Amino acid sequence: MESNQFSLAALVKSHSPLLSKESIKSAGENQVRLLEEASTAVDALLKVYDSDVNISFLKILREVNRSGVFEIPDSLKPFIDDNQDSLDTSDDEESTSSTSRLTAIRNFLDAPFRQVINYSSYISNDAPFGTHQGVKGLEFPRVLVIADDEEAGGFLFSYEKLFGAKEKTSTDIKNEQEGKETGIDRTRRLFYVTCSRAKEGLGILAYSGNPLQVKDFAIRQGWFLENEIEVLP
């Protein structure tokens, strides 16, 4: 706890406008009062944080704004006011792009603040998980590749097509005939990247609407032996 308080004090000293050189200089003989204000702001922020295990980023943001303990980035200022919950929904292209961005930020702010710990771990490469694109160039003793088109939510890749569970579309066939890149080509490269990260052990968990067809296809392609594939109920 003492270590956390020391770290917090150092963070406030380095980044809080309440304790900036300009603020301290302008405070003159009232520098002690300035320190007390900063301490009160930090205590209030911690109280808000401790009040709810699932407190959102948005509530933390609004408390930070109320106390003035940290600067608020311009991108987050539209969400400070409770009256700004409804976003502009204009039809022109520029407004639509801006609205999509604001919606994405709002979805982030609605997430529990404690997720910042997991996020920090992820961007520091300390998490046990990574995206298929993000692990390029890395190596691990053991790797579990999860292939799930539905959860991926995109359209540029298709493991179902790569694994033979879905037929190629007319566009896929046309692109192949014209020598153009297809979604299957992109998925094959991505699959190679993920599988080649393993140094000792590799497991692949593939979600499919037709798992038996995936199994037969993988065996016919010579990717795996029959006893290396298990179809789960």
- Phi and psi based region of residue 179 (left: phi greater than 0; alpha: psi -120 to 50; beta: remaining): left
Judge if 81 and 182 occupy the same domain. Answer: no
Judge if 46 and 64 occupy the same domain. Answer: yes
> What is the pLDDT of the chain when averaged over all its residues?
86
Q: Is the predicted pLDDT of residue 93 greater than 80, yes or no?
A: no
Judge if 111 and 73 occupy the same domain. Answer: yes
Dist CA 169 CA 155 (whole Å):
13
Q: Regarding predicted confidence, which is higher, 83 or 153?
A: 153
Judge if 80 and 176 occupy the same domain. Answer: no
Residue spans of alpha helices (H) in 68-124 = 93-109, 115-123
Dist CA 160 CA 222 (whole Å):
17
pLDDT at 97: 63
Judge if 173 and 108 occupy the same domain. Answer: no
Judge if 143 and 108 occupy the same domain. Answer: no
Q: Is 68 within the bounds of a domain?
A: yes
Judge if 73 and 160 occupy the same domain. Answer: no
Judge if 53 and 100 occupy the same domain. Answer: yes
Burial class (CB in 10 A: 0-12, 13-18, 19+), 65: middle
Q: Mean pLDDT over residues 131-136, rounded?
A: 84
pLDDT at 5: 65
Q: Is the predicted pLDDT of residue 59 greater than 70, yes or no?
A: yes
User: Which of 97, 120, 143 represents a domain boundary (last residue)?
Assistant: 120
Judge if 154 and 92 occupy the same domain. Answer: no
User: Which of 71, 99, 120 represents a domain boundary (last residue)?
Assistant: 120
Judge if 145 and 188 occupy the same domain. Answer: yes
Using one digit for the tens of pLDDT, what is the confidence trace for 114-132? 998 888 888 787 888 888 8
Range name among 40-54, 79-93, 173-187, 205-219 with the lowest pLDDT average: 79-93
Q: Is the predicted pLDDT of residue 92 greater than 80, yes or no?
A: no
Task: Give residue 194's domain range.
Answer: 130-228
Judge if 145 and 85 occupy the same domain. Answer: no
Judge if 62 and 171 occupy the same domain. Answer: no
pLDDT at 71: 92
Q: Is 233 within the bounds of a domain?
A: no
- Residue 145: both structure tokens together: 């590749």
Distance of CA 113 to the CA centre of its chain: 13
Give the count of domains, the chain: 2
